[in-house]
Amino acid sequence: MGLFNRGSKSDVPLSGDEWSTNGHGAKRPQDADRSELERQPVPASEPEREPEAEVIEEQPAAEPTPAEPERAGDGERARNQPRRQSGTGAAGSEPEETPEPEPRPAEPEVKTKPPVNPPEPQEGDDKRMSAEQALAPVRRPGMGRPPGAHIGDASERRAKIISFANQKGGVAKTTTTLNLAVAFAESGHDVLAIDLDPQGNLTMSQGVDPDKVERSMYDVLVDHIPIREVIQGREIDIAVASIDLAGAEIAMSMQIGRERSLEKALSAVVDDYDFVCIDTPPSLGLLTVNALTASDKVIVPVQCEYLSMRGLVQLQNTLEMIRENLNPRVQIEGILPTMLDSRTIHAKEAVEILEENFGELVFKSRIRKAIKFAEAPVRGSSVLKYDPQGNAAQYYRDLAEEVLTNGAS
C-alpha cells in the first residue's frame, strides 16, 4: 500500500536523487508529466491481475452467459500478453487447442501413402517361402532354364548326351557318331550331332564343306554365340565344325570356366532333342574335356588291334578326373569293337582281351569292316542312307537297339 500512496503523489519525484546526483535543479512540470505517464501502466497492470484470477476461478463454475463479456476482454489481454500469462489456466488452455489440429491432418497423410513393400504373409501362411528355398531355390519341372545355365541331371531334361571318345585316331569315331545318330533318328527320335573335330569329318560326311561355313563350333565355344546359329539340317541336325577349331583350345585357355563352354551352349537346346551325339578329336585335350563334361555317357570305339586297346587305360584315368572335378554323372556306356576282321586270329584275340578286362562294358554288337563305310561319306550321307539294306547299315541298327534297350549290359 505504501507504493500505491507514493505513486499517487505527483509532486514527489521518484527519481529525485538521480537529479540531485547529476547536478540538475528542481524538476520541471514537463518532466513530471512525462514521469507520471511512464509510471501509469505499472500501477494499472497490477490491479488488473486480480480480476483475471477471478475469471479463472469462475470458468469451471459453468456460468457461460455472464462470463462471455469477461472472456472477450480477457482474450484480448491474453493476446497482448501471451508470454506473461503462460502459467495461467485460461491462457494455457487456448494455445493448447490451436496446435492440436496441426499434427492431426498429418496422421491420415501417412496412412494414405501406399506401402513401399507388399504386406508380408502371416506366419501360418503355407505359401510363405522358407529361408532355405530363398537361398537355394530348387528347379521345378516346367521352369525355364536361364541361358548359360548348366544342363543338370538327365532326369531334368529331355536329351541324353553321348560322347564318342578315344585318343587313338582311326578307330571309326566319326563313322560311329554319324551312323548311330541316324539309326536313332530312324527309330523316331530327334537327334543332334556335334562335330568337335577340327578335321571336320563329320561335317563333310553330311555334305557340308567345313571351309565354307560362316560360323562353326569355334564361334560357339570361343565367342559364345548361340549354338542354334551353327546347326544345319541334314539327315539329322548337325552343329558344323571348321578348321578354326584347331585354335580353339588356345583361345579358350584364358577363359574362366572353359571346361564348361559346351555344357552352357547345350543348355539352350537340350529340351529340343532326344539324343545329342558328340564327335571328339583324337586327343584328350580341352575340346574332349568339354565334351565329357557335358555328357551323360561315353561310347568308346576301339579298333580290334592291340595298340588301339592300350589307350583305354588313359581314357579311364581322364574320365575319373572328370567325375571328381567337373561331371560326376558321366559314365562309360560301352566299349564298341570296330573294324573287326573276323578272318584274322589277331582280331579275335583282341576281342577276347577286351571282354576279359572290361566284361559287360563291351557291347555285344560288332562293327565289321565294310567298303560301304568308305564310300558313304563321298556321297555326303550315312551308310544307312547310302546302302540301307546292306550289312554295314544293319550293324548300326543293331547297336542302336542295344543302346536304346539297356546299353552295354
Domains of the chain (ranges plus CATH)? 1-6+26-61 (no CATH), 157-406 (3.40.50.300)
User: Residue 309: what pLDDT?
Assistant: 74
Q: Which residues contact 77 (CB under 8 A, 6 or more apart)?
A: 48, 52, 85
Q: Do the Cβ atoms of 174 and 202 come closer than 8 Å? A: yes
Confidence of residue 335 (pLDDT cuts 50, 70, 90): very high
At residue 59, what are phi and psi to the nearest 5 degrees? -65, -45
Q: How far apart are CA 46 and CA 403, in angstroms?
A: 117
- 133 pLDDT exceeds 50? no
Confidence of residue 284 (pLDDT cuts 50, 70, 90): confident
Q: What percent of the chain has pLDDT over 90?
A: 47
Kindly list the distances between the CA atom of residue 222 and the CA atoms of 255, 259, 276, in Å, as whole numbers in the listed order.
9, 12, 20
User: Residue 347: what pLDDT?
Assistant: 87
The pLDDT mean for the chain works out to 76
* Mean pLDDT of the region 323-338: 93
Handedness of CA 9, 11, 16, 19 (dihedral sign): positive
Cell of 302: 576301339
Confidence of residue 56 (pLDDT cuts 50, 70, 90): very low
Handedness of CA 272, 276, 281, 284 (dihedral sign): positive
Confidence of residue 123 (pLDDT cuts 50, 70, 90): low
Considering the entire predicted model, what is its pTM? Answer: 0.64
Q: How far apart are CA 104 and CA 71, in angstroms?
A: 28
Query: For 30-34, 163-167, 376-380, which range has the lowest pLDDT when averaged over its residues?
Result: 30-34
**Tens of pLDDT along 340-374?**
988 889 888 889 989 988 889 999 999 999 999 99
- 41 pLDDT exceeds 90? no
C-alpha closest to that of 217 among 246, 238, 242, 191: 242
Q: How far apart are CA 289 and CA 363, in angstroms?
A: 24
Instruction: State which H helix or E strand residue 290 sits in.
Output: helix 286-294
Parallel/antiparallel/unpaired status of strands 297-303 and 237-239: unpaired
Please give the radius of gyration of the chain, using alpha carbons only, rounded to the nearest integer.
Answer: 51
Cell of 293: 563334361
Query: For 52-56, 114-118, 142-146, 204-208, which range has the lowest pLDDT when averaged over its residues?
Result: 142-146
User: Residue 100: what pLDDT?
Assistant: 54
| Cα within 13 Å of Cα(150), Cβ side | 15
